[in-house]
Amino acid sequence: MTIGENIQTIGERIRAAEQRFGREPGSVQLLAVSKKHPAAAIREAFAVGQRCFGENYVQEMTEKAAELTDTGIEWHFIGPIQSNKTKAIAATAQWVHSVDSLKVAQRLSAQKPASASAINVCLQVNISDEASKSGVEPSQVPELARQIALLPGLRLRGLMAIPAPEHEFERQRAVFAQVRLLQQDLNAQGFTLDTLSMGMTDDMEAAIAEGATIVRIGTAIFGCR
């Protein structure tokens, strides 16, 4: 199947899940994860209407963005963030899903180009408590959110999570439900978070059932890397 056909198939899965779980039609956005795929593949996806692309590696994102300046693509950075890479991220990405420290957020705030709009940021939550994963412990999220919400040039939008793999649907839902409840608790404290970035190819339906607003899909669109 072509990239365009794959995007259509994923779109149908998203719409079906929205309907199945009582979500508002069109409330879930597809983020095409294009890491390690060439700019030509991104152009192919763009040609069929895909506008938002996620990248995990800073240099790869900046190189592709330079090659694709004619498209007006919305770039989402979704990988681990090294503090010495924040300037390039701030100059390129409209969204950063993987903020997990005040230091990183402060650097993004300070290094955002003056002419650019506020950077939309999500806090990455280490919801499965995996030592190998980036992210904030759930108990630390409220205080970090309060600090980041005060920074100029950033707009705190929500939470991102990459749970440990689960193969049983209800177990997938249970983990995503923890992220949803954390967002609800934050909003009850006065935040106005509207984004849950969670769900990938193998667990997107469970994520949508628990309130995902952005699903991050790579392999099912672009194939294996």
Q: Taking all residues of the chain, what is their mean pLDDT, rounded to a whole number?
A: 96
What is the mean pLDDT of the segment spanning 135-139?
Answer: 95
- 133 pLDDT more than 90: no
List, in sequence order, every residue forming a beta bridge with 54; answer none if it has no partner.
33, 76
- Determine the pLDDT at residue 105: 98
**Using the 8-state DSSP alphabet, how is residue 131 labeled?**
T
Phi first, then psi, for residue 166 (nearest 5°) are -130, 140
Rounded to whole angstroms, the Cα distance separating 197 from 157 reads 10
Mean pLDDT of 158-182: 96
pLDDT in tens, 4-18: 999 999 999 999 999
Query: DSSP state, 164?
Result: P
Distance (Å, rounded) from C-alpha 172 to C-alpha 194?
21
pLDDT confidence band for 78 (50 / 70 / 90):
very high
Distance from C-alpha of 104 to C-alpha of 51, rounded to nearest angstrom:
26
Report, as an integer, the average pLDDT of 149-172: 96
Q: Work out the pLDDT band at 134, boundaries 50, 70, 90.
A: confident
Q: What is the mean pLDDT of residues 163-181?
A: 96
DSSP secondary structure letter of residue 34: -
State yes or no: pLDDT of 88 exceeds 80. Answer: yes
Residue 216, SS3?
strand
| pLDDT-wise least confident of 70-79, 129-138, 160-169, 211-220 | 129-138
Please tell me the distance from the alpha carbon of residue 198 to that of residue 195, in angstroms, as a whole number: 9
pTM of the model: 0.97
Q: What token pair was written down for 80?
A: 């681990």
The Cα–Cα gap between 24 and 16 comes to 11
